[in-house]
């Protein structure tokens, strides 16, 4: 995927995340499309490029919420490094595995961001984690599985009976 296409997709995901994703909220939780895009982009890339992609996606997300400026960039950089190191060497062609990676990335993202977002209030962190983070991570994983399955269907090559594509 070339750079222009990645930038375009990132901007579209950002606009959808900020403007329209709240319409499909379940119990106040929405899927994190940025984490899904992050996993899709860095799963088969090296750790250095993954960290750059994670930082840029996190910074773009920070522009939508300036109160925590830099926190999402930091969290997404860590997530990108982890996904590229752990996920890249395992079974990246399995859609369910990618869904598990999205789930784990969402949980780790919230573990990094929640202490700052709640001003280190232990009670608020625990309530937010169990009330919103787990459901949001599960929702993101399910949406991610659907997106990865759709992408797999769209990019599949069909082999004709006589050979060739």
Domain ranges of the chain: 3-155
pTM of the full structure: 0.88
d(CA 14, CA 20): 10
Is residue 85 classed as helix, strand or coil in its secondary structure? helix
Considering only CA atoms, which of 95, 77, 89, 117 is closest in space to residue 40?
Answer: 95
Binned average pLDDT, 10 residues per bin, the chain of 165 residues:
84 90 90 94 88 93 84 94 81 82 95 92 93 95 95 76 59
What pLDDT score does 16 carry?
Answer: 92
What pLDDT score does 64 carry?
Answer: 79
> Which neighbouring-strand residues pair with 29?
26
What pLDDT score does 163 carry?
Answer: 54
What pLDDT score does 48 carry?
Answer: 92
Report how far apart, in Å, the C-alpha atoms of 96 and of each of 48, 84, 126 are. Answer: 26, 17, 28
For residue 1, what are the contacts with CB-CB under 8 A and spacing of at least 6?
41
Are the C-beta atoms of residues 149 and 114 closer than 8 Å to each other? no
Tens digit of pLDDT for each residue in 111-135? 999 999 899 999 999 999 999 999 9
d(CA 129, CA 118): 11
């Amino acid at each position: 995927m070339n750079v222009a296409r990645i930038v375009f997709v990132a901007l579209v995901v950002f606009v959808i995340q900020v403007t329209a994703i709240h319409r499909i909220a379940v119990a106040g939780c929405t899927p994190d499309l940025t984490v899904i895009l992050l996993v899709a982009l860095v799963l088969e890339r090296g750790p250095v490029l993954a960290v750059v992609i994670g930082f840029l996606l996190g910074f773009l997300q920070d522009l939508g919420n300036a109160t925590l400026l830099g926190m999402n960039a930091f969290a997404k950089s860590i997530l990108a490094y982890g996904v590229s190191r752990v996920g890249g060497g395992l079974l990246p062609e399995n859609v369910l595995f990618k869904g598990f990676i999205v789930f784990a990335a969402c949980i780790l993202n919230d573990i990094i961001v929640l202490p700052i977002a709640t001003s280190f209030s232990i009670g608020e962190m625990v309530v937010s984690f169990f009330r919103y983070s787990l459901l949001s991570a599960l929702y993101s994983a399910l949406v991610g599985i659907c997106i990865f399955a759709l992408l797999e269907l769209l990019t599949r090559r069909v082999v004709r009976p006589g050979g060739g594509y």
